[in-house]
Amino acid sequence: MLVIGLLLIGVAAADDGLFEALGSRIARAPGSQLGVFSMMMGLVAAVTVVLNLDTSVVFLTPILLHVARRRGVSEIAYLYGAVFMANAASLLLPGSNLTNLLVLAARHARGTSFAATMFAPWVAAVVITWAVLAWWRRADWGHGASSDEPVTPLRLDAGALGVVAAVVLMLAVTNPASAVAIVGVLASGSQIVRRRFSVRHALDALSPLTIGGLFVVALVLGAIARSWSGPARLLGAVGPWGSAGLGAALSNVVNNLPAAVILSARAPAHPFALLLGLNIGPNLSVLGALSAVLWLRIARREGAEPSAVTYSRIGVVLVPLSLAGALGALALITPGAL
């Protein structure tokens, strides 16, 4: 319900021109190519926090590619940054990643409390992800120029209102899924009634077969895991760093949503460390999260050439660095959370 609600809000916001308007203004910004890339990564992080990583990947991947092409710079850093930054930035609010809600379901914590705990790891993961991508494509930043294309107009309509409502709900409500789903239906429904876009357009953004398939897998695995105490005992034995590593490893075997269901069927001993592994670990392979599956589909539709091999080549460096940085920040700033 949460993912569907946020994706529907994203459809309405995209129709308002929210993402394209922001992207076109950044594309026209004076200054270095690295500066523009950094601003776009900041936009990905912000949208991920507010509207969930899957929404971010679906609606911002085309915008990022368009910005790179408008400025005459290689689109590779923008292409992979769309998904790597979305995964890394999904740590800050409960609704930013469905795994956050699954792992901490028993705690019934408000979004403000969750954000206070995860802020330092979130900053570490975002900064390290940006730094690795910027260094990897450092040869690109001396080429290209600012865009002189006109900016895209922005309409403050149902989509913008939906974004504001989603932020408030995810900060103030313990379990925001139902409320966010209602907001999403209202925001997109009002646009459909006014013939701004069709029901088919909304369904295309939802990828119902992909989301439904993962949901069924999660239900089956959850039913099995609740009758098995092995994962809970293992997480208690390996400690916080081991919990993070186990979450990352299992995510790349069965996807991080089923992994979260398996590892949190019984309350884990180190839930915040586990979340770091579940959210950052999928940057190792395209099998790790729904966000990567959606990214592959969207990127190919936009004429890009994403590579699973290149994804993993970057991830081999990125995941250990960002995971260690996030765990270190959590231990330093909020040691009680470990």
Distance, in Å, from the CA atom of 186 to the CA atom of 79, rounded to the nearest integer, reads: 32
Q: Is 141 inside a domain boundary?
A: yes
Q: Is 164 inside a domain boundary?
A: no
DSSP secondary structure code for residue 151 in this structure: P
Q: Is 138 inside a domain boundary?
A: yes
For residue 108, with 0-12 CB atoms within 10 Å meaning exposed, 13-18 middle and 19 or more buried, which class applies? exposed
Distance, in Å, from the CA atom of 238 to the CA atom of 234, rounded to the nearest integer, reads: 6
pLDDT of the chain, 338 residues: tens digit per residue: 888 888 899 889 888 888 888 888 888 887 789 999 999 999 999 999 999 999 899 899 999 999 999 888 999 999 999 999 999 999 999 889 989 988 887 676 778 889 999 999 999 999 999 999 999 999 999 876 666 667 777 777 888 899 999 889 888 877 788 899 999 999 999 889 888 878 887 887 777 777 787 778 777 877 777 777 777 788 888 999 999 999 999 999 988 988 998 898 888 889 999 999 999 999 999 999 989 999 999 999 999 999 999 999 999 999 999 999 999 999 999 888 88
Q: Is 127 inside a domain boundary?
A: yes
Which residues contact residue 119 at a Cβ distance below 8 angstroms, ignoring those fewer than 6 apart? Answer: 92, 333
Q: Which two tokens stand for residue 101?
A: 């809600």
Q: Is 269 inside a domain boundary?
A: no
Q: From 118, 60, 1, select the one nearest 302 (Cα to Cα).
A: 60
Number of domains comprising the chain = 1
Task: Name the CA dihedral angle for 1, 180, 83, 298, rounded to a multiple of 10 degrees.
Answer: 70
CB-CB neighbours of 213 under 10 Å: 14
Q: Is 206 inside a domain boundary?
A: no
What are the φ/ψ torsions at residue 197 (nearest 5 degrees)? -155, 170
- 5 close to 177: Cβ distance less than 8 angstroms: yes
Residue 118 lies in domain: 18-154+290-337
DSSP-assigned states of every residue in 11-57: HHHHHHTHHHHHHHHHHT--S-HHHHHHHHHHHHHHHHHHH-HHHHH
- Tokens 């290209």 locate to 144
Q: Is 274 inside a domain boundary?
A: no
Q: Is 236 inside a domain boundary?
A: no
For residue 266, with 0-12 CB atoms within 10 Å meaning exposed, 13-18 middle and 19 or more buried, which class applies? middle
